[in-house]
Amino acid sequence: MIEGEVRSLERVRELLIGARTVAVLGASTKPERPAFYVPDYLHEQGYRLIPVNPLHVGAVAWAEPFRAKLTDIVEPIDIVDVFRHPNFLPSHTPDFLAMQPAPKVVWFQQGIRNDEVAATLIAAGIEVVQDRCILVDHRRLGL
């Protein structure tokens, strides 16, 4: 755990209640993959999902076209939900920081943790959740 990382379930509740638009970095088109069924669940709960994956540009998911990278998104993003291996996160840091406006939260899904990237984002004023499943937390909180 690092200083400033979101840990409390109460803060997670506030973030999920306040969020409406979620960018999904590493979104999949395969229903059996967490990078598809987790955002699909969020979409069913009323969140707007914007899929980001250069391998699927030209495809559409959750009524939105896939974007190649985070900086291709022009609207404000509440949460960037990350489905990428922790080793790839440093290569995404410039995109996280270049988003305008900056996302309120970058959420590393369960099993994804990179304290160096998280510290950089926190220093830039972006809240960070690490190694937590947004679907599990959403259900646990009864939102």
pLDDT in tens, 25-56: 999 999 999 999 999 999 999 999 999 999 99
As a whole number, mean pLDDT of residues 1-23 equals 93
Among 94, 87, 118, 93, CA closest to 7: 118
pLDDT per residue over 49-93, tens digit each? 999 999 999 999 999 999 999 999 999 999 999 999 999 999 999
Which residue, among 91, 87, 93, has the nearest Cα to 128 in the 3D structure? Answer: 93
pLDDT band at 143 (very low <50, low <70, confident <90, very high): confident
Q: Which CATH architecture has domain 9-140?
A: 3-Layer(aba) Sandwich (3.40)
Residue 23: name the closest of 130, 88, 103 by CA. Answer: 103
Alpha carbons 97 and 54: distance in angstroms, whole number: 19
Q: What whole-number percentage of the chain has pLDDT above 70?
A: 100
Q: 129: part of which helix (H) or strand (E)?
A: strand 127-129
For the record, the structure tokens of 107 come out as: 């959420």
Taking a C-beta distance cutoff of 8 angstroms, is the pair 86, 98 a contact?
A: no
Q: Structure pTM?
A: 0.95
Largest CA distance in the chain: 40
Report how far apart, in Å, the C-alpha atoms of 54 and of each of 57, 69, 108 are.
5, 7, 19
Report whether 6 contacts 129 (CB < 8 A).
yes
Residue 2: its pLDDT value, please?
85
Listing DSSP states for 20-33 in one string gives: -EEEEET--S-TTS
Confidence of residue 110 (pLDDT cuts 50, 70, 90): very high
- Look over the chain and give the mean of its residue pLDDT values, rounded to a whole number: 96
